[in-house]
Structure 1
Amino acid sequence: MVNGFDPATASNLTPESRKLVERRIALLGPAYRLFYKDPVEVARASGVLLYDSEGNEYLDAYNNVVSVGHCHPKVVDAITKQAQTICTHTRYIQKGILDYAEQLLATFDGPARHAMFTCTGSEANDLAVRMAKHHTGNQGIIITDEAYHGNSELSAGFSPSLGPYSPLGTFVRRVPAPDSYRIAPENMGQWMAEKVSEQIVDLQRRGAGVACFIADSMFSSDGIFSHPTNLLQPVVDVIHKAGGIYIADEVQSGFGRSGEKLWGYQRHGITPDIITMGKPMGNGYPVAAAVMLPEIVEKFGRDNRYFNTFGGNTVAMAAAQAVLNVIKDEQLVENSLKVGKMLREGFEALAKKYQGIGDVRGSGLYIGVEMVKDRSTKEPDAAAAAAVVNGLRARRVLISATGAAANTLKIRPPLVFSAAHADRLLTEADAVFATL
């Protein structure tokens, strides 16, 4: 795992941390992973700050799950009040889910849509692909090389970033990520469409056909590629021509993350057939959704009954409603654009000082800083990226890394990240780069 803790090095930890890690392994087993060479213990949080049990403060520049900040009082209040009133499922008439769905659907441009609620982004993507297969009668799924879309059996099967020992589905096909650092942006959309077309031909030859292409429009696990913004329409066109549908996975790039639009796909000017969302939707409370065109759910709904005991429950809807309200009331999309620009400009200034920084990219509060061994060859430098991530952790600033080569710094703070927080991150990053 990128930025993963190696349990074999537990002897290097403090006695208390070693005790907790050993206890964790004994109780939870080996499949769970911890971040950082020296794992972080957290006891409480507020806004963009985390605290360990000794009261040490950490600047959180990584967690998008708490999109409007840790323990936002309006979200906490909404969850508390609803939990004190009633928590039940969608087989009863409820106003809350209807009010939220109405407001959520109004944020999507283009044709009218329906909303279906789940607990997680994995469930949302699982449901979306099931619908795609049912609607098209085809089996093929096309993704980018290092995509991550979930950890259910189906969604893990089209999430190659889970690693080589996590099997991909029989009819899953991969295309290269739109690496804007190494591929000229001119005609990149046509290039990507051609790569998708090649996989469509293979799927058709094997009798599977193509059900869908699914992508996160920021290509988060591939290394964070935000530009150009005209590359997805050609992909939509070839997918539709082959009888498939386009799924926009907005789990990481939605809810104002890009700063330019509420939804990441909107930066590309496309109209997806299905849009999925998750993590940031409830600010840590498990709520997610798939939003689709009526014709896609019509046959699925006729042939299948869908029920999710906790998906769309009254407390989940209260949390989601509070988050949507906070994003609007506190102008967090605008804040994402403004502070994100400051961060990118700050890292671009650092790139002039430090040759190991090969590329700075991103949009809003989603930034990738690619580390390389040589700018002329653009050879990835995973060791340098790990050193920066762990160097910042030692200074109590938390980021991570991403990409096929694990050499891109992944900076993705809560949307309430301020100019002062950005300055602290850049100051500490400067100090760490100076040590490489």
Structure 2
Amino acid sequence: MRLLLLLLVFASMLRAEDTVLLKPTEAVRIALERNREIERIRRELLSLEDLYRAEKWDRFSPKVELFVDKDGFTFFGSVLLLDFGNRLARIRSADINTKIKRELLKEFERQVKIRTVRLFMELALAEKLAEVRREEMAVAYVRYDREEQRLEEGLSDRVKVAEWWSTYRRFRAQLYEAQRRYNETLYEIKRFLGIDVTKPVEVDLGELLSFEVPEDRTIDTQALLKAYEGNYLLRVKKLEVAYFESRAKEQRRILYPELSAYLEVRNRYEELDKFRSQGNLVLRVPLFDGRTSFYRERSFLDLKRAVEVERKDVEEKVKRDILKAPYVWEELVAEYQDAVAFDEWAQENLDLSRSNYELELAFDLGYAMSTKTEAERRVMEAKFNIILFLMRLYDLIGRDPFEVLEGKFKFFTEKVDEI
């Protein structure tokens, strides 16, 4: 018997060691390391950085070639000394393209943080909803059982019995739906974090549940408007304008000179100990290309103007979202306060039901318990909606969404008391 107990204790210890404890902050760290989309963007960024280096080497590095024919061989070296044309613009275009991808990576990392927190919230709400449905199902079954007894005593009818049986079955189906949603979300968290879906995990929601809603404060739109240019899309559109402007400069070839130096060293097979060398400076000035460069330049300038129009539209949308933020905030806080008030009433109602408990009214206590659990779920959902709103608001201006969970409310002001 003792050996069996020791084996059970040892097995439980092994299971505990294999279980992964996940908190939102820890989950975000794992996601940033293992998320496949982030890895793809990082690889693309490395590729663009290599292209940028290649353009710089192409502009500044000397080039040496070897030519071999039937009479001998020749070393030919050249270097570009001055460039008044498109080569520097090509370097700048590659640099801007790299910056755009870097902005995309930063934004995707912020979105990963928001999505990770949202998945944890969905998991918590699904678990709480399953608890509500389980209690409602128990109440419905007690009522069904009581009506069946009353039917046997001739105090009820089959319609009421069937009604409570149907209610019980409905809550039972909703319980399974909530359980399915919980497990789907849990598997999605594992997949999103790159954790084996068969590996057991334990979720700690303390960082979310301990969040204190700043009910006495409101959104400072003026502070947000000063920081709106940090918006990811605005920054990208600004870079795209510079990119197409640079691409347009790449096409400017006519009458843009280039000064190069070259050195040629030749040797013939019959005179291997004798080398002939010559060098020179060459000024190259394109004069005519049939207006090809003109139309190519104009094409990129048209794209630049199109992006400028898009940027103006994005700017207006960002300002609109900032200006409406206080109204959304007040609505969410009001919903939270309503949920808290309902939870306080549910607690009082539960305490009253417990003090007045009688066997005949057991279902009343069960109903009060399920109402209290539903009230807790409503408070949780209202709080989560506030956290998500603030995280998205911080992301809107290019700030780290996790500043919200750290209690850094830099864009808030004291609320003026209503008269």
TM normalised by structure 1 equals 0.23
Which structure has the higher relative contact order (CA within 8 Å, separation 6+)? 2
Structure with greater proportional helix content:
2
TM normalised by structure 2 equals 0.24
Bigger radius of gyration: 2
